[in-house]
Amino acid sequence: MPASKAVTQAIVERVNDLRQQVNYHNYRYYVLDNPEIPDAEFDKLFRELQALEHQFPELITSDSPTQRVGAAPLKEFGEVRHAIPMLSLANAFSEEEVQGFGKRIADMLKHKDPDHIEFTAEPKLDGLAISLRYEKGRFTQAATRGDGETGEDVTQNVRTIHSVPLQLVGKGYPDVLEVRGEVFMSREGFYALNKKQQQLGAKTFANPRNAAAGSLRQLDSAITASRPLEFFGYGFGEIKGGKLAPHQSEILEQFKSWGIRVCPEVKKVRGIKGCLHYYANISERREQLDYEIDGVVYKVNAIAQQEELGFVSRAPRWAIAHKFPAQEALTTIKAIDVQVGRTGILTPVARLEPVEVGGVTVTNATLHNQDEIERLDVRVGDTVIIYRAGDVIPKVASVVKERRPRHTTLFKMPDKCPECGSDVERVEGEAATRCTGGLACPAQRKNTIKHFNSRRAMDIEGVGDKLVDQLVDKGLIEDAADQYTLTREQLAGLERMAEKSAGNVLHALEKSKKTTLARFIYALGIRDVGEATALNLAQHFGDLDAIMEANEEALQQVPDIGPIVAAHIVSFFKQKHNQQVIKKLLKAGVHWPQVSQPIRSESKLAGKTFVITGALATMKRDELKDKLIALGAKVSGSVSKNTDYVVVGAEPGSKFDKAQKLGIEILDEDGILRLIK
């Protein structure tokens, strides 16, 4: 280092001051989810500190907030012997087992009634357990659980996790404080990481847990630093030179005040009733949480009672994990079929030996496309791990290659459409294989009609998917318009169709004739024309003829329409078949009110993105969505940096938390009503 740069007292003070400020704002951001200053201001402080440390390397300390970038790669992890073993938890898979847990501890504590014992109820985070050691407030070591007695030294790696403070804040922490908790990856972080891995041609991860484990156990901590890992504290190990509060719930509050991030879903509850109520509530919201959980953990709240209860073998008697039904299951693939969708996309579907996953019997799993089949190398006869998350279609997570029977062959997408025999094509650069048969293909025809009838299109409630299949198979209808000429006799002759339901169908069809131009355009099922684009078209052109006659150039004047979508629209209306169907629909009496002249450009909500969460008192969420779209706004399902407003009703989900974290404007019901009035 050039000798000319002498460290002065002022510089030392500035460096210390900057570190304190950066630590404080990190704490506000990562632990409290409540930043005080904009990101750009934070970056300024951070860069000033970095610059000073670069200029005066002798001032760098291991706990400086700049030191989260990863150190030199290790040859192997060192070992850490846990001063206090890291235990695991007993599991309960049913209410009865949880009741049994309550009864056991009530007996041991000589309480008559398990419903008077206080517990904390905590999400069971699906990551890996870690022990963090702080000495005089300074982060000194992090270790994995290992076998509970001895773990691996992952200090360098954990140092890169932003929600792990390198220096505790506040006061009153013990001289030695071991915080136990979970390192995990949020869903968003996981998706982003997989996307990045894919772009790099690197290995992708099957789920956030594997991604977290794989990222933490990197010998090169610079790799860990590039991975979006997070930490929540939920327990403690060795404590020296100080004391923790006498209740688990208070200890977690202490953690927060010292800068340690704690899961915001932790609640204090009374009795097993309270535990089960918590379980039911969080089960409902599980998919909306930012991170995956595989159950909940109940812990006796009073530490004195915990001590009285003690341990059996390697698990505490005072806690239990109430697990959700498994999301993964093992089964075999009986066949791979190919389904044809509305736009002609061929989707390979695995037919499975039925298996229960997360409380639901699963018989099919999507294999997406040829690329995915090749990535998984999945074959008929294979034993596979099926993964199901929420309501989404089950997926094949991986193949158990060890169990592959002999003489299996690779699956190839067919050359001909399995529904109509037309050639299939695979467009350069697209993953999808498509049938070229268009509406001559019965599968495309059925799915086009199903889309036409769907709730946000023409909303023909009485004519569901099964009925459409029957109507097309029996040759009673060929396109959506034919539905309007169906007779009571024709309908009554169908399977599972009594006189009365035939009447209901006719009534629903009649009712659907009154619609809006935007819904009608959307219902036609033009490729890449979703609800928002349909609305833009309706508002821009004002009537159907104008849209049908517009050329690509004119179409591109519409917000959000580029050359590709414009080409799809022109080609749709050029087809004789489509023109005929539209004519028939209008002749059948489908109509809509005159579109008032473009409101889009004047509306102050034009182009703004909204997210709606929680229940509204004066209207359904869908109604509000329609109103907002009509005013030119977009309505999205998830909160991101691009969200302009989040509308919050009663009992909002995690979208509310996220909006607060990102500093997005929040509107309550009154607020949004005022805005759209």
Residue 303 binds to ligand IVH (criterion: CB under 6 A): no
Interface with ligand IVH (CB under 6 A), residue from 16, 50, 88, 204: 88
Residue 382 binds to ligand IVH (criterion: CB under 6 A): no
Smallest gap from residue 89 Cβ to ligand IVH (A)? 4
Residue 316 binds to ligand IVH (criterion: CB under 6 A): yes
**Residue among 75, 124, 450, 625 flagged as catalytic:** 124
Smallest gap from residue 86 Cβ to ligand IVH (A)? 7
Neighbours of 460 (CB within 10 A): 26
Interface with ligand IVH (CB under 6 A), residue from 87, 340, 443, 535: 87
- Candidates 178, 381, 166, 155; CA nearest to 259 is 166
Sign of CA dihedral 64, 69, 73, 77: positive
Interface with ligand IVH (CB under 6 A), residue from 19, 124, 261, 634: 124
Is residue 433 a contact partner of residue 424, using CB atoms and an 8 Å limit?
yes
CA dihedral 388, 391, 392, 395 (to 10 degrees): 20
Smallest gap from residue 129 Cβ to ligand IVH (A)? 3
Radius of gyration (Cα) for the chain, nearest Å?
A: 30
| Amino acid occupying residue 380 | V
Position closest to ligand IVH via CB? 129
For residue 85 the two structure tokens come to: 């073993």
Smallest gap from residue 213 Cβ to ligand IVH (A)? 11
> Looking only at residues 180 through 219 of this chain, which bind ligand IVH when binding is defined by CB under 6 A?
182
> Looking only at residues 89 through 108 of this chain, which bind ligand IVH when binding is defined by CB under 6 A?
89
Interface with ligand IVH (CB under 6 A), residue from 297, 463, 509, 631: 297
Binding region for ligand IVH (CB under 6 A) out of 87-95, 197-205, 426-434, 520-528? 87-95
Q: Considering beta carbons, is residue 178 or 182 the nearer one to ligand IVH?
A: 182
Q: Considering beta carbons, is residue 147 or 651 the nearer one to ligand IVH?
A: 147
Catalytic-residue membership of 655: no
Residue 235 binds to ligand IVH (criterion: CB under 6 A): yes
Is residue 212 a contact partner of residue 129, using CB atoms and an 8 Å limit?
no
Q: Considering beta carbons, is residue 209 or 625 the nearer one to ligand IVH?
A: 209
Interface with ligand IVH (CB under 6 A), residue from 92, 154, 303, 321: 321
Please write down the HEC assignment for all residues of 479-547.
CHHHHHHCCHHHHHCCCCCCHHHHHHHHHHHHHHCECCHHHHHHHHCCCCCCHHHHHHHHHHHCCHHHH
Q: Considering beta carbons, is residue 265 or 626 the nearer one to ligand IVH?
A: 265
From CA 638, how far away is CA 288, in angstroms rounded?
10
Q: 319-323 and 91-92: which strand pairing?
A: parallel
- Give the distance between the most distant pair of CA atoms in the chain: 99
Residue 365 binds to ligand IVH (criterion: CB under 6 A): no
C-alpha dist (Å) from residue 392 to 126, 287, 293: 19, 11, 17
Number of residues lying near ligand IVH (CB under 6 A) = 15
From CA 344, how far away is CA 436, in angstroms rounded?
7
Q: Considering beta carbons, is residue 231 or 484 the nearer one to ligand IVH?
A: 231
Is residue 646 a contact partner of residue 664, using CB atoms and an 8 Å limit?
yes
From CA 120, how far away is CA 320, in angstroms rounded?
11
Residue 632 binds to ligand IVH (criterion: CB under 6 A): no
DSSP string, 138-205: EEEEEEE-TTSSEEEB-HHHHTT-TTS-SB--SS---SEEEEEEEEEEBHHHHHHHHHHHHHTTPPP-
Residue 234 binds to ligand IVH (criterion: CB under 6 A): yes
Smallest gap from residue 257 Cβ to ligand IVH (A)? 19
Residue 122 binds to ligand IVH (criterion: CB under 6 A): yes
Q: Considering beta carbons, is residue 117 or 300 the nearer one to ligand IVH?
A: 300
Smallest gap from residue 309 Cβ to ligand IVH (A)? 12
3-class DSSP state of 564: helix
CA angle 205, 352, 91 (to 5 degrees): 60
Q: Considering beta carbons, is residue 290 or 461 the nearer one to ligand IVH?
A: 290
Binding region for ligand IVH (CB under 6 A) out of 81-89, 106-114, 190-198, 651-659? 81-89
Q: How far apart are the first and last CA of the chain?
A: 66
For residue 290 the two structure tokens come to: 């930012």
Interface with ligand IVH (CB under 6 A), residue from 166, 179, 289, 319: 319
From CA 376, how far away is CA 611, in angstroms rounded?
35
- Candidates 89, 109, 104; CA nearest to 272 is 104
Is residue 358 a contact partner of residue 324, using CB atoms and an 8 Å limit?
yes
465-473 vs 442-453: helix crossing angle, rounded to 10: 140
Q: Considering beta carbons, is residue 265 or 669 the nearer one to ligand IVH?
A: 265
Binding region for ligand IVH (CB under 6 A) out of 117-125, 192-200, 281-289, 483-491? 117-125
Q: Considering beta carbons, is residue 22 or 276 the nearer one to ligand IVH?
A: 276
Is residue 654 a contact partner of residue 611, using CB atoms and an 8 Å limit?
no
Smallest gap from residue 296 Cβ to ligand IVH (A)? 8
> Looking only at residues 132 through 171 of this chain, which bind ligand IVH when binding is defined by CB under 6 A?
145
Residue 600 binds to ligand IVH (criterion: CB under 6 A): no
- Residue numbers annotated as active site: 124
What are the residues binding ligand IVH (CB under 6 A)?
A: 87-89, 122, 124-125, 129, 145, 182, 234-235, 297, 316, 319, 321
